[in-house]
Amino acid sequence: MSNSTPSSGSDTTEVQIRLNDRTLFGNDAGEDENIDVLTSYFVNQPAFGEFLDPNVRLQVARARKGMGKSALLAKFAHDLAALPCKPLIVNVVPSTLAGMLAPPDSDTAVMLENYWKQVICRAINFEIAKSIGFAWRDDDITLVETAELAGFRGKSLVGALTSRLLGKISLFGAIEITQKSIPVQNHDQMLKRMQDAERDARDVWFLLDDIDTRFRNVPAQQAYVASFFSACRSLIREINGISIRATVRSDVWSGLTSVEDLDKFEQYICDIAWTTNQQKDIVVKRIHAYVQREYPACSIAKNWTIAADADALTELVFARRFKWGSEGVPPINVLRIFAGGRPRWMAQLCRLAGNRAVVNNSARIGVNEINEIMPEFGKRRLADLYNEHGHQFADLRKLIEIFSNGERSYTTTELGRKITQAYVRTKSAKSIPDIDGAPYRHSMQISQFLFRCGFLVGRAAEVGPDGVAFVTYEMRPDLLQVDANPDDGMDWEIQAPYRRALRIR
């Protein structure tokens, strides 16, 4: 991004940004954001290519919480709605599906895969029923009546007729309607018949956000979630015109690695990660979009661009440099470290800092505001950590607390000693919970889990090409697993978002 001076003719006094305006940094939940606002600040990247391509029938976005999975899905739904072919879009969450059809009390893969196929097709069929209006064919009528019985639409003309007339009537000799209709039993076969009929064929998109909602890392839940992916592969093979997008947390996916055939799904995965420049784009685009919404007539809104005026846009909200150690660094360097690379956390950090700047009567957000809100921000991040990964290790909260009032950095040997002395020796081996589904064997297993869930990061001796000295699990998932080279010469640091809340030096 450019460090050039702002575009000529621009007067920054035209814009008076309210640093405590909740809309300045966007909604924390991408799916709750006004879609026009979301698209105005959405940051694309090459990894999203296939996910956003309507010619690709199956893709699943995989990432930690707060990385933008829901925003990506919402952006794709918006793009689909603008297509000339006007596809049918079914946008749901797991609780909606469970309300339509309760999951079976079984962990048998075949039964669970069939459940997913039935409930996905049922959701699609209900949407088709809503769009039919007056139904002429038997399949159409059955769909309409089934949807009405389940309470998913108001009475149609067909439904009104059947509720008023006794016995059997004929509409222009075209079809017959009886008073008692039979609900659909096999929604996948119903949908297949309709899609196979050329005159009825219509592109159908099934979008499911957070397949892993309330996931617990037990065999039954593993089978339940894994069977969804098997059902998706089956449906796109069997039914013409149906395409699928979904999202899954990376930590949940890692717990499914023992499930048969899941390796075949890797080709359909879109992994979300953000470089430093892309994280800067996220902040700059939100500021730019805010100016365009609030001051559409000003020269900044009309003339400034993300490419040419990124630094100047940043300086509308943030101090030019943040003191970091003995140096002054660009604000994004500090924001991305404290936010752990997650866009949602970065937005929350900026919002808290903006509120503090108003309290402090500061014209811009500076490093003082960041420092002052870090204890509160850290408490929120610890709560997120426990919510996100507590299902993988029941003693996570107790484990994290052993690092309170301690050091921020450890060698591999020191880390293992810390875990052994402060946690393992306080318990019997049998009382240590399973770690992501595997029985406890040694302290390095716990070290690797802390690395995998993002509490720890590796600290490289040299800065990488992206200007980052930290190594995350996504970059090097093999670390702390191989005895011959467990750390590649790196030390381990507790991530910055957690330090102040744990009073770490």
Over residues 89-134, the pLDDT tens digits come to 999 998 888 888 888 888 888 899 999 998 888 888 788 777 765 4
Contact 41, 26 (CB under 8 A): yes
So what's the pLDDT on residue 143? 55
Report pLDDT for 218.
78
204-208/88-92 β-pairing: parallel
DSSP state of 134: S
The number of angstroms, rounded, from the C-alpha of 402 to the middle of its chain's C-alpha atoms is 30
Q: What was the pLDDT predicted at 140?
A: 57
The set of residues, in sequence order, having a beta carbon less than 8 Å from that of 386 and lying 6+ positions away, is 396, 397, 400
User: What pLDDT, in 10s, does the model give residues 37-95?
Assistant: 999 999 999 999 999 999 999 999 999 999 999 999 999 999 999 999 889 899 999 88
User: Nearest Cα to 98, choosing from 126, 74, 131, 120?
Assistant: 120
For residue 178 the two structure tokens come to 């009886």
**What pLDDT sits at residue 57?**
96
Below-50 pLDDT ranges, the chain = 1-4, 8, 134, 136, 149, 152-180, 466
| pTM > 0.85: yes or no | no
Which stretches within 265-411 are classed as H helix? 276-294, 299-303, 306-314, 331-338, 343-359, 367-389, 396-401
In angstroms, the CA 81 to CA 152 distance is 21
